Amino acid sequence: MAEKIFENWLLKLISLAFAIVLWFFVMGESRMEVNHIVTLEYVNLPEGLMIASEVPTSVALRINGPRALQVNLDQEDIGLRVDLKGLSPGVTSFKRLDETLDIPGGLKITRISPSYVDVRLERVRERGVPVQVVLTGDPAPGFLVKSASAAPDRVVVIGAESEIKMVSEVATEGIDITNVQENFTQTVALSYVGNYTDLKETKTVEVKVVLKPDPDFVPPPPEEKPDGKAATGVEKKEK
């Protein structure tokens, strides 16, 4: 047994000395702190659910350790992931994000901001609502708007359950009808901005505006000439 221990003793002694020197080199090497901004990903979102709260998409890290390890540290290798697998609707708090980081031994996280995130999950719902045509200005004198219709006249909104309950209609962008005196059709974008909802498919509609004569319209009297006579557009020559 003793013979095996002392077998190749010189090689073993050299290896031990090399290991000791390397250990002192790493431990005695100048240390430094480096700041990183890493991506925060949310993975394994359960089917039928969505994130319905403001959540950070990046995290600020400060890592302390030997210079050699810091130089060889690839920022893409220290991305953070929040695993949403198996969660139900509601708010879940993910604390101690630094514990999910996989970094080489010898490095230490001295600061992380934010250090936790709260994620609210809600069920995804759909709702069909009517399109509200928005007109601005007034048609030409003597005309009124008889009708303003959109095709399609209903669109589908999709998103977080709590918000979709509050959506009753979707308006178009404003259509200027100032001094218009005939019917027209125009493609118009829908004006909808939700926090956690959006239009499912339809983004534009065809709006048809139909005018009609104003029964109460009274034409203005003809303008008078400086001599007090009404301007008829035809002047008679003096005899």
Contact 172, 150 (CB under 8 A): yes
Q: Are residues 136 and 196 in the same domain?
A: yes
Q: What confidence score (pLDDT) does residue 221 get?
A: 82
Alpha carbon distances (Å) from 68 to 5, 64, 192: 35, 12, 53
From 80, 109, 205, select the one nearest 152 (Cα to Cα).
205
Please report whether residue 59 resides in a domain: yes
Q: What confidence score (pLDDT) does residue 53 get?
A: 95
Burial class (CB in 10 A: 0-12, 13-18, 19+), 87: middle
Q: What confidence score (pLDDT) does residue 234 get?
A: 46
Alpha carbon distances (Å) from 209 to 123, 124, 217: 39, 35, 20
Pairwise CA distance, residues 175 & 135, whole Å: 5
Please report whether residue 130 resides in a domain: yes
Q: Are residues 35 and 111 in the same domain?
A: yes
Task: Answer with the one of 97, 115, 133 that is the final residue of a domain.
Answer: 115
Q: What confidence score (pLDDT) does residue 229 get?
A: 55
Q: What confidence score (pLDDT) does residue 105 get?
A: 76
Mean pLDDT per segment of 10 residues, for the chain of length 239 residues? 56 69 58 84 95 94 82 74 94 86 79 92 97 96 96 97 96 96 96 95 96 89 65 47
State the total domains in the chain.
Answer: 2
DSSP class of residue 173 equals P
**Residue showing tokens 């400086």:** 226
Q: What confidence score (pLDDT) does residue 126 get?
A: 96
Please report whether residue 50 resides in a domain: yes
Q: What confidence score (pLDDT) does residue 233 get?
A: 47
Please report whether residue 41 resides in a domain: yes
Q: What confidence score (pLDDT) does residue 239 get?
A: 41
Phi, psi of 11 (to 5 degrees): -65, -40
Q: Range of 92's domain?
A: 30-115
